[in-house]
Amino acid sequence: MPDDSSINGGQRGLPRIDVEFILHTEHRRHTAQELPASGMSVFGITSLLKGKSIILDQLLNDHFEQMDAIIDWAYPEDEDHRRIPLADRLKNTTRSTDSNPPGRRFMRNVAYRTFKALVEYIYTGRIVFGTKNTETAPKSMYRLAEALRMSDLQAKALSAYADQLNKGNVVDEAFSEYTSRYPEVMQVIAKALKGLVSEEAFKEEVSKRIDRMVRGETPHAAEMVRVLIVFA
């Protein structure tokens, strides 16, 4: 967390940190009153964040105060929820005593790691995807970028996600609830599945998934099954 001197940077002619995004770090619902105590903060400079996303601009302009107005579904499997560096946790144990504190925005349904990477991307144009604590999960960022209508970042995240698909994970990814929400992701996975799995195994897997779907076990898989039948 920045100290008071950085928050008051505007006094020295520097851009002033004027917004605090508070992100929950647990997979449960919070009230607006609970969230500050149980969340982690990402600080930002409104003037530098604006103009990159019409949705983010609306959030910054007080059109709504909570991110669940943008992403209304929780993602408990989010890898970025489990990857918060210790240094970041320690920095978030205190809050500013500045007499003019930043305006707060409560970011439900978004992981701290993901949103921090988003802010850094807006500032620098750089992002690193991967599985390390210093990297961002592609699926997490794709979800956020899609909600914010940031097509350039969305494309980068989708490309990184496609690179992570392999024989060991492509089938489960294909029929996950996450995938069912994004037609573009379904198309990428369908192509990968055909390339990674033999034709016989592919048809067998589609048959199994159709069986599970008609039994009501995976209703979200209906559209993916349709896509795979087209690809078969």
Q: Indicate whether 179 and 113 sit together in one domain.
A: no
Least confident range of 39-48, 58-67, 102-111, 205-214: 58-67
Higher pLDDT, 94 or 215: 215
- The Cβ-side half-sphere exposure at 198, using a 13 Å CA radius, reads 3
What is 136-156 written as a DSSP string?
Answer: B-HHHHHHHHHHHT-HHHHHH
The pLDDT score that the predictor gives to residue 141 is 96
Higher pLDDT, 60 or 79: 60
Q: In this predicted model, what pLDDT tens digit does every residue of 172-206 receive, in sequence order?
A: 899 999 999 999 999 999 999 888 888 788 778 77
Domain extent for 188: 165-232
SS3 label, residue 132 = coil
Task: Kindly state the average pLDDT of the residues 159-170.
Answer: 93
Q: pTM of whole model > 0.85?
A: no
Q: How far is CA 106 from CA 80, 167, 183, 207, 227, in A?
A: 18, 38, 28, 43, 37
The pLDDT score that the predictor gives to residue 221 is 86
Query: Would residue 148 count as lying in a domain?
Result: no
Q: Indicate whether 173 and 112 sit together in one domain.
A: no
Q: In this predicted model, what pLDDT tens digit does every residue of 210-221 receive, in sequence order?
A: 888 888 888 888
**Amino acid present at 96:** S
* Domain final residue, candidates 99, 124, 149: 124
The pLDDT score that the predictor gives to residue 85 is 52
pLDDT for 162 beyond 90: yes
Q: Rounded to an integer, what is the distance from CA 16 to the centroid of its chain?
A: 26
Q: Indicate whether 18 and 112 sit together in one domain.
A: yes
Q: Indicate whether 86 and 176 sit together in one domain.
A: no
